[in-house]
């Protein structure tokens, strides 16, 4: 089935040694970039460091091998951090595995149903709002480690974390702040001079060496977590009804977010390479990749825009580069993972600060607020606020509902019904049709749906004219509520012996009338191809 054909098969058709060399180089470099990010994002998600690598290895390999993009790199991303942390806190690791598997199944179904193109129906205001909100939640979640604080409780919600932060702030660890600031400076300044070497890796090495050599009182990963370099064994979690019911809303959110972020990453990759991805195949691969991640102890994964862009810039030409990236991370897990215990926690916090800044899109956020209509700005701010104060499930649900209501109001406002008047001015005769005295002509413009049904005309009391023409050449669509409005108008006309004629129906409204039986009831002779024929028939009547 061509529409669900992995891009790897097409890429291998003309593969060569030169292309392999490019993919090997890009894969190794992207793995170096992904290493500290995978560990940092795992910690931000409330799971152990190695689980970030499990995700990048299992999901990254499967998604590259089966995906619909040539250069997509998948793994843990910041967008999932707060969701994963919440699920892990409420339902434990088994609940998280169930949620990830369910999300994977939903993604596969979405791909098989051809829903890859439907992602464009998510408004920009919502994606910008929840992305900025996620960035804020990540930043707030890392304040504890950046300032070396000790919390009395272990809060999950962002507002509670802020309360704990300010309560614990008098106990700030200046050594931790210094290490965190050094990591920030390295990540900001290093790329300006040595762009080919990942700044986050340099920050990890520099701060780790500083803490160990100077014996600074700063927590490292090893102080807070037990590091494992063993390979995970595949295990299927127990699917209990209570667990599935508890995590199903989170699974739906994970699936939607994975679809949005992965397809956005594919679009960015297409713009950089001039190629075109297969969105439905990508969704299927994302689903299978998330299932693999859950089975091997990982967390949800999706296409990572920054890592995908780095893959392209370093010469990747096929999905082999993404597979190489996963294999390199597997070698790091087996051979070098114990050294991750020396990474200072303020450095991890600083890396996530940069991740939050880069994903926040604050320039787009401000631009949308300034240039968008007030209603769109309200959707943006509400989605942002709900993401920060509550969670992504509430934010997406409320944001989409409000956006749909506003869209329907705009469409209803676009629907116009105007009555023609007889024009005697000879200078206007070429632009206006003459309406006989016994005829009413109403021009309907815009989609006729439940939001605009009240604009369908009513007969005035004592109406003496004997023919009504509805000119509908500018009506692209008709729904069942508007159809009932037309039936009501026809019944009014029939009861008062007024002939109802239709002029220039478009295919969709005509199809709705035919399927409902109203077309046959009114009679095919009452449907005319244009206004001239409708007026001519009205004149005869």
3-state secondary structure 10-78: HHHCCCCHHHHHHHHHHHHHHHHHHHHHHHHHHHHCCCCHHHHHHHHHHHHHHHHHHCCCCCCCEECCH
Q: Identify the residue whose tokens are 């439907």.
A: 118
Specify the range with the lowest mean pLDDT, choosing from 99-108, 299-308, 422-431, 437-446: 422-431
Residue 291 has pLDDT above 90, yes or no: yes
Which pLDDT band, with edges at 50, 70 and 90, does 247 fall under?
A: very high
User: What is the pLDDT, as a whole number, of residue 232?
Assistant: 83
Q: In the prediction, which pLDDT does 429 show?
A: 44
DSSP H or E run through 474: strand 467-474
Q: Measured between alpha carbons, how far is 387 from 132 in angstroms, rounded to an integer?
A: 9
Mean pLDDT of 478-503: 92
Decide: 485 and 516 in contact? Cβ < 8 Å. Answer: no
Lowest mean pLDDT segment, chosen from 117-131, 333-347, 355-369, 499-513? 117-131
The phi and psi torsions of 76 (rounded to 5 degrees) equal -65, 140
Stretch (H or E) spanning 190 = helix 174-193
The mean pLDDT of 505-514, rounded to a whole number, is 93
**461 three-state secondary structure:** coil
pTM over 0.85, yes/no:
no
Cβ(31)–Cβ(73) below 8 Å: no
With 80 as the cut, is the pLDDT of residue 391 above it? no
**CB atoms inside a 10 Å sphere around CB 16:** 9
pLDDT at 57: 96
What is residue 361's predicted lDDT score, i.e. its pLDDT?
Answer: 82
The per-residue pLDDT for range 151-210, each reduced to its tens digit, is 888 777 888 889 999 999 999 999 999 999 999 999 999 988 887 788 888 999 999 999
pLDDT for residue 455 is more than 50: yes
For 167-172, which contacts have Cβ atoms below 8 Å and span 24 or more sequence positions?
A: 168/144, 172/147, 172/148
User: Which is higher by pLDDT, 416 or 183?
Assistant: 183
Contact 318, 26 (CB under 8 A): no
- What's phi and psi for 379, nearest 5 deg? -65, -45
Over residues 245-263, mean pLDDT: 91
pLDDT at site 483? 92
Q: Is the pLDDT of residue 145 over 80?
A: yes
- Between the ranges 211-220, 388-397, 427-436, where is the mean pLDDT highest? 211-220
In this prediction, residue 338 carries a pLDDT of 86
Rounded Cα distance between 412 and 450, Å, is 8
Give residue 421's pLDDT. 65
Domain ranges of the chain: 25-365, 416-540
**Stretch 78-92: mean pLDDT, rounded?**
88
What percent of the chain lies above the pLDDT cut of 90? 51
pLDDT at 417: 81
Q: What is the CATH number of domain 416-540?
A: 3.30.750.24
The confidence score (pLDDT) of residue 486 equals 93
Distance CA 13, CA 1 (A): 17
**What pLDDT band is residue 432 in, cutting at 50, 70 and 90?**
low
For residue 58, is pLDDT > 90? yes
pLDDT digit string, tens, across residues 276-287: 899 999 999 999
pLDDT in tens, 338-363: 888 899 999 999 998 998 888 888 88
The pLDDT-based confidence of 426 (bands split at 50, 70, 90) is: very low
- Residues of the chain above pLDDT 70, percent: 97
Quick one: pLDDT at residue 430? 44
461-474 pLDDT per residue, tens? 878 889 999 999 98
Per the DSSP assignment, residues forming a β-bridge with 474 are 445
Taking Cα atoms as reference points, which of 107, 124, 125 lies closest to residue 116?
107
């Amino acid at each position: 089935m061509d529409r669900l054909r992995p891009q790897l098969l097409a890429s291998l058709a003309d593969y060569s040694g030169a292309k392999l060399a490019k993919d090997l180089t890009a894969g190794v470099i992207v793995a170096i970039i992904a290493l500290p990010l995978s560990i940092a994002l795992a910690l931000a998600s409330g799971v152990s460091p190695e689980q970030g690598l499990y995700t990048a290895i299992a999901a990254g390999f499967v998604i590259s091998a089966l995906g619909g993009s040539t250069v997509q790199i998948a793994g843990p991303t910041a967008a999932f951090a707060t969701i994963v942390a919440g699920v892990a806190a409420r339902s434990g690791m088994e609940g998280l595995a169930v949620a990830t598997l369910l999300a994977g199944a939903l993604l596969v179904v979405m791909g098989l149903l051809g829903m890859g193109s439907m992602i464009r129906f998510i408004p920009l205001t919502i994606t910008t709002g929840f992305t900025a909100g996620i960035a804020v939640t990540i930043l707030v979640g890392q304040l504890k480690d950046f300032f070396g604080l000790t919390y009395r409780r272990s809060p999950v919600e962002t507002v509670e974390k802020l309360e704990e932060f300010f309560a614990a702030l008098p106990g700030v660890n200046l050594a931790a702040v210094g290490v965190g600031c050094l990591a920030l400076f390295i990540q900001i300044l290093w790329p300006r001079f040595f762009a080919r070497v990942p700044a986050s890796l340099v920050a990890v090495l520099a701060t780790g060496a500083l803490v160990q050599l100077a014996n600074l009182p700063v927590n490292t990963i090893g102080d807070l977590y037990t590091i494992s370099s063993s390979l995970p064994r595949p295990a299927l979690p127990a699917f209990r009804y209570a667990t599935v019911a508890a995590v199903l809303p989170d699974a739906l959110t994970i699936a939607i977010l994975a679809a949005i972020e992965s397809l956005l990453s594919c679009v960015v990759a297409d713009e950089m390479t001039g190629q075109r991805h297969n969105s439905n195949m990508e969704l299927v691969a994302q689903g299978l990749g998330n299932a693999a991640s859950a089975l091997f102890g990982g967390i949800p994964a999706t296409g990572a825009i920054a890592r995908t862009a780095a893959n392209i810039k370093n010469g990747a030409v096929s999905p082999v580069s993404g597979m190489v990236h996963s294999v390199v991370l597997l070698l790091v897990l087996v051979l070098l993972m114990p050294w991750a215990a020396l990474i200072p926690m303020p450095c991890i916090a600083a890396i996530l600060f940069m991740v939050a800044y880069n994903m926040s899109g604050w320039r787009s956020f401000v631009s949308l607020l300034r240039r968008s209509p007030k209603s769109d700005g309200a959707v943006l701010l509400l989605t942002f606020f709900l993401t920060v104060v509550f969670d992504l499930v509430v934010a997406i649900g409320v944001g989409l509902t409000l956006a749909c209501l506003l869209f329907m109001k705009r469409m209803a406002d676009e629907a116009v019904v105007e009555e023609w008047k007889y024009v005697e001015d000879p200078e206007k005769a070429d632009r206006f049709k003459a309406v006989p005295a016994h005829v009413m002509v109403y021009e309907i413009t815009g989609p006729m749906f439940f939001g605009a049904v009240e604009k369908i005309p009513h007969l005035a009391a004592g109406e003496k004219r004997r023919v009504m023409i509805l000119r509908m050449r500018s009506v692209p669509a008709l729904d069942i509520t508007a159809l009932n409005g037309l039936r009501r108008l026809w019944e009014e006309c029939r009861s008062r012996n007024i002939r109802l004629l239709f002029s220039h129906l478009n295919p969709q409204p005509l199809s709705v009338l035919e399927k409902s039986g109203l077309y046959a009831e009114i009679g095919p002779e009452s449907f005319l191809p244009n206004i001239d024929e409708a007026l001519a028939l009205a004149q005869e009547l």
